[in-house]
């Protein structure tokens, strides 16, 4: 599937997931949303993708994001979650998808929804992608899985496979 991001990407959606329009689920700022076919009820597992060109993408020579920049993105995402929920960092590590450097982290989130408290797991991945047509154009992509904590053992590995498939469209 190809998404509408500043640099088009493609990926392989795992079996058991279905693409939906971000507008249909009230997620218009996002480029892409997928829902898990077998998680219903209180909370439906989802994968989202957002991205933007790096601010300095056109003003400096192309170079991949360094570990410090990726760590900052991970820390900022963790801090955003912590403002509205109890959060615990489970894992953070460097990753790569088709040669693009990245950072992955898994966070446990305790929060409330309409019918009371809920424990979620969020897998977050940040990938620095370069436009294969214009190497000076670079984008940071945020890929996020949110699921019930009890479903994370099954869904986090699927999410990791999904992230590994993300690449710029050639």
pLDDT attached to residue 170: 76
Torsion angle in degrees (nearest 10) through CA of 137, 159, 124, 7: 10
50 touches 35 (CB < 8 A)? no
pLDDT attached to residue 81: 84
pLDDT attached to residue 152: 95
Taking Cα atoms as reference points, which of 28, 34, 37, 38 lies closest to residue 163?
Answer: 34
Task: Among 3.40.50.300, 3.40.1000.10, 3.20.20.120, 3.30.300.30, name the CATH number for the domain at 9-115+124-168.
Answer: 3.40.1000.10
What are the pLDDT digits (tens) for 109-135? 999 888 889 999 999 999 999 999 998
- The pTM for the full model equals 0.88
Taking Cα atoms as reference points, which of 50, 57, 61 lies closest to residue 127?
Answer: 50
109 touches 120 (CB < 8 A)? yes
What are the pLDDT digits (tens) for 18-56? 999 999 998 988 999 999 998 767 899 999 999 989 776
pLDDT attached to residue 64: 59
Residues making up the chain, counted from first to last: 170
pLDDT attached to residue 1: 46
Domain limits of the chain? Answer: 9-115+124-168
pLDDT attached to residue 2: 43
Q: Select the more confidently predicted residue: 55 or 107.
A: 107
**Alpha carbons 124 and 70: distance in angstroms, whole number:** 12
pLDDT tops 80 at residue 163: yes
What are the pLDDT digits (tens) for 52-100? 897 765 555 455 567 778 888 888 889 888 888 899 999 999 998 888 8
DSSP 56: T
How far apart, in Å, are the Cα atoms of 40 and each of 148, 153, 168? Answer: 10, 17, 32
């Amino acid at each position: 599937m190809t998404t509408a991001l500043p640099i088009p990407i493609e990926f392989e959606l795992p079996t058991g997931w279905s693409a939906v329009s971000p507008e249909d689920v009230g997620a218009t700022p996002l480029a892409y949303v997928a829902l898990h076919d077998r998680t219903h009820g209180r909370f439906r597992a989802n994968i989202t993708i957002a991205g933007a060109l790096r601010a300095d993408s056109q003003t400096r020579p192309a170079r991949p994001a360094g570990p410090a920049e990726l760590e900052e993105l991970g820390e900022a995402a963790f801090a955003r979650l912590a403002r509205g929920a109890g959060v615990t960092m489970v894992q953070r590590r460097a990753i790569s998808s088709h040669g693009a450097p990245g950072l992955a982290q898994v966070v446990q989130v305790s929060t409330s929804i309409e019918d009371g408290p809920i424990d979620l797991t969020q897998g977050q991945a940040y990938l620095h992608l370069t436009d294969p047509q214009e190497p000076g154009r670079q984008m940071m992509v945020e890929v996020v899985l949110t699921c019930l904590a009890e479903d994370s053992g099954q869904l986090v590995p699927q999410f990791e496979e999904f992230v590994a498939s993300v690449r710029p469209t050639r």
